[in-house]
Structure 1
Amino acid sequence: MILSILNYDSAVASAASRMVSAAKDRPCMDMGGRRTNEWAAVAAARAAVVGGFKGTANLLAAQLYGLKAIGTAAHCFTLVHDSEREAFESQIAALGKNTTLLVDTYNIEEAVKTAVEVAGPELGGIRIDSGDLAAMAQRVRNQLDALGATNTTITVTNDLDEYALASLQTAPVDSYGVGTMLVTGSGAPTCAMVYKLTEREGADGTMQPVAKKSKDKATVPGRKLAYRSYEYSLAEAEHVISGSEEKLAGFTPEPEWKNLLVDFVNHGEIDSQWQGHDASWLHMITVPRHWPSCRLPHKA
């Protein structure tokens, strides 16, 4: 269970961190729920926020972890209406003018014109999900400004990854919705973490070192110490110290080294200083096994 959490969540959080770095000061939003297992989607939303994302379209994850819920309409919402104008009117009637309208179901230029006609220059935002995103964002920005909607934001989606985000830096885009590449680790779907037993309690109550001798998979026995050193506030090297208990007890790390071994749980007690947003409330929740009967408590 621990490896399942660490491997997948760390892969998603790492991908999210790379994407946030590529996006610079533009917020990234998780929209990958439909591209993975239903419960993995919930875990991915949390991991994405750990990696720097600003919100998620997964409502269950938002409720469970106190995340910001975000999202726009889908193309099917527009298609189910008799016209694009009616779809925009319905969305604005339900969510207000500050909502974000999807404008690429038919013709983007006509959709932007209709969106501003329906919502006025106070329209919150529009989303583009197809085509040459950089070129289209520039055209739409020019059109919005000409229509007086100078504060209307532009969100782009469509199989974005960190490389696509970096290529959009000069485009007039305000935020990104990232899906498939986020929840699949963007080329690294797992961190390949493993668990290896290195010591066990003997019959006399003392800890005894153990090790594998498998070909190409041998392990180093015994307890370890782990530290990370930094140079100019950047991680420079990791230091793993092994040996006898006497050697470990007498080892003194350099003053600037950071100890990587932290007790999250000690004798069944969770150390609250390592818990994140609302975690003292969240760890009390038991998620039902059967999705249709899911009833989650509301935060007081």
Structure 2
Amino acid sequence: MTESSALRTDRYELTMVDAAIESGTADRRCMFEAFARRLPNGRRYGVVAGTGRLLEQIRQFRFTDAELTWLRDNDVVRQPTLDWLADYSFAGNIWGYQEGEAYFPGSPLLVVEGTFAEGVILETIVLSVLNYDTSVASAAARMVSVSLGRPIAEMGSRRTSEYAAVAAARAAYIAGFAATSNLEAGRSWGVPTMGTAAHSFTLLHDSEEDAFRAQVKAFGTDTTLLVDTYDIAHGIELAVKVAGTGLGSIRIDSGDLPTVVAAARAQLDDLGAVNTKITVTSDLDEYAIAALSGSPVDSFGVGTSVVTGSGSPAAGMVYKLVAHTDDDGAWVPVAKTSTSKVSIGGRKDAVRRIGADGLAALEVVLVGDGPDGEPETAPGQATERELLVPLVTNGTIDERFLGASGTERARAHHASVMRELPAQAFRLGRGEAVIPTIYR
């Protein structure tokens, strides 16, 4: 039986539904929007991730007898609401930026249309998935952009929760990482997996040489030998002695990496292992990877930094009611206007203006009513790319965005989007969004 996601939410989602049922407003047609007022940490672009996971969570958002019993026993909501929840299944429409897409301040990343009750109840699950996955993907994209085409593996499972580890591996892969150490991400989402041995394997054996021989016997000479348990230079000498000059790779997990890597490359070449690759995995982030741009590193492994969003563990997204219908069925824009948390009301669509050079120049958010319950369509200009795509139509999820195939689709889309961004987008220093957002 599929596990329910219905209680992965905040209590006030259900109490709002309870009060709206009491007041007779629960069935009013509403439009909710997920967006970010700003990019985290002075970054120049963000990367949308989590859409495929979110759609799976929405599919599993059902209140079985177990959930209903718990809600009843804990007096969370009253009986009419329990009856409504028992039949809940999202039946509205959802549009969103494709997974892997770049986004900017104000981009309407997800637009949810339905009754107030069926839309508001999704707020927490929407934000918990998109905020984390997008944060990871945005950090991962920065790392990929400075890796100069060299593959990066995600290795952060032990630096986050067991559930977040799977989500992080998927998000990093969408943003261009080559593989993950997490097996569940491989099983659930089709992310390539990698990994050989840790220092404990070396310490288990009576000598480093014995450990290398055991590993080569098990996996062949194309394996990766971890050479920094004791002395790196001696470890490299033993690795080539055991595996021969056809050794696949060595891994270095400590030391002053630019200096250590240069010495390792020279030593490998002197020993005749000219094709043996060097992988480094020592607390890397985008800045450390950039600092190694001139070093003979062949691949990277990143853990803590990527699964924590490289200093921005949440993307800062919010989920707001932006419009509802009046008694005549016409859409009425609504928005919060207090303090600095100002929102722009109204139903929205979005296009990205592409210049004659093929590069993104402007994020255009279209505000206004659209025909027949759909967001306003973008002008059919060749220089404007439409950003919102249908994800759920009358409760039916578009299967193309789910599972391993959806993950690959998102990865391919991300790669194409990155080619649209101006070169300034990939500077690591703090800065404003690389293209401005306007409302039309």
Tell me the TM-score range normalised by the shorter chain.
Answer: 0.7 to 0.9
In structure 2, C-alpha distance between the alignment counterparts of 1:209 and 1:64, rounded to whole Å: 40
Which residue of 375, 388, 407 maps to 1:261? 388
Q: CA deviation at 1:217?
A: 2.5
Q: 2:394 aligned with 1:270, yes or no?
A: no
Which residue of 209, 216, 225 maps to 2:340? 216
Q: Deviations over 1:205-242 (max 9, x none)?
A: 54433222333323322212211112222221111122
In structure 2, C-alpha distance between the alignment counterparts of 1:210 and 1:112, rounded to whole Å: 65
In structure 2, C-alpha distance between the alignment counterparts of 1:128 and 1:250, rounded to whole Å: 52
SS in 2 for 1:177: strand
Q: Are the counterparts in 2 of residues 28 and 175 from structure 1 also a CA contact under 8 Å?
A: yes
Q: Deviations over 1:11-55 (max 9, x none)?
A: 111111111110012111101111111110110000001110000
Change in CA separation of 1:229 and 1:276 when aligned onto 2, cut-off 3 Å? farther
Provide the residue aligned with 1:15 in structure 2: 139
Q: 2:233 aligned with 1:114, yes or no?
A: no
Letter paired with 1:127: R
Higher mean displacement: 194-203 or 19-28: 194-203
Change in CA separation of 1:251 and 1:96 when aligned onto 2, cut-off 3 Å? closer
Letter paired with 1:233: G
Change in CA separation of 1:228 and 1:57 when aligned onto 2, cut-off 3 Å? same
Q: 2:334 aligned with 1:237, yes or no?
A: no
Q: Are the counterparts in 1 of residues 400 and 406 from structure 2 also a CA contact under 8 Å?
A: no
Provide the residue aligned with 2:249 in structure 1: 125
Matched residue pairs, number?
279
Q: TM-score, normalised by structure 1?
A: 0.86
Q: CA deviation at 1:257?
A: 0.9
In structure 2, C-alpha distance between the alignment counterparts of 1:261 and 1:134, rounded to whole Å: 44
In structure 1, C-alpha distance between the alignment counterparts of 2:292 and 2:368, rounded to whole Å: 51
Q: Deviations over 1:113-157 (max 9, x none)?
A: 111111111211100111111111111111111212111110011
Q: Deviations over 1:231-265 (max 9, x none)?
A: 2222211111224558x869736431111221112
In structure 2, C-alpha distance between the alignment counterparts of 1:140 and 1:221, rounded to whole Å: 58
Task: Please list every run of 5 or more consecutive structure 1 residues that lacks an aligned counterpart in the other structure.
Answer: 281-300
In structure 1, C-alpha distance between the alignment counterparts of 2:292 and 2:377, rounded to whole Å: 53
Letter paired with 1:269: T
Which residue of 155, 180, 198 maps to 1:74? 198
Q: Kindly indicate whether structure 1 or structure 2 has the higher relative contact order, using CA contacts under 8 Å at least 6 residues apart.
A: 2
In structure 1, C-alpha distance between the alignment counterparts of 2:379 and 2:238, rounded to whole Å: 69
Letter paired with 2:259: A
Letter paired with 2:127: L
Provide the residue aligned with 1:294 in structure 2: none
Q: Are the counterparts in 2 of residues 72 and 100 from structure 1 also a CA contact under 8 Å?
A: yes
In structure 1, C-alpha distance between the alignment counterparts of 2:337 and 2:141, rounded to whole Å: 37
In structure 2, C-alpha distance between the alignment counterparts of 1:130 and 1:250, rounded to whole Å: 54
SS in 2 for 1:117: helix
Q: Deviations over 1:158-203 (max 9, x none)?
A: 1111111111111111100011111111122221111111122445
Change in CA separation of 1:52 and 1:244 when aligned onto 2, cut-off 3 Å? closer
In structure 2, C-alpha distance between the alignment counterparts of 1:272 and 1:235, rounded to whole Å: 29
SS in 2 for 1:190: coil
Q: Are the counterparts in 2 of residues 128 and 157 from structure 1 also a CA contact under 8 Å?
A: yes
Q: Are the counterparts in 1 of residues 144 and 176 from structure 2 also a CA contact under 8 Å?
A: yes
In structure 2, C-alpha distance between the alignment counterparts of 1:95 and 1:245, rounded to whole Å: 60
Letter paired with 1:137: V
In structure 2, C-alpha distance between the alignment counterparts of 1:188 and 1:68, rounded to whole Å: 26
Q: CA deviation at 1:10?
A: 0.9
Letter paired with 1:263: P
SS in 2 for 1:148: coil
Superposition pairs for residues 1-300 of structure 1, below 5 Å? 1-231=125-355, 232-244=357-369, 252=379, 254-275=381-402, 277-279=404-406
Higher mean displacement: 215-224 or 89-98: 215-224
Q: TM-score, normalised by structure 2?
A: 0.60
Q: Are the counterparts in 2 of residues 72 and 127 from structure 1 also a CA contact under 8 Å?
A: no
SS in 2 for 1:278: helix
In structure 1, C-alpha distance between the alignment counterparts of 2:180 and 2:170, rounded to whole Å: 8
Q: Are the counterparts in 1 of residues 284 and 303 from structure 2 also a CA contact under 8 Å?
A: yes
Change in CA separation of 1:170 and 1:219 when aligned onto 2, cut-off 3 Å? closer
Higher mean displacement: 267-276 or 235-244: 267-276
Q: CA deviation at 1:273?
A: 4.4
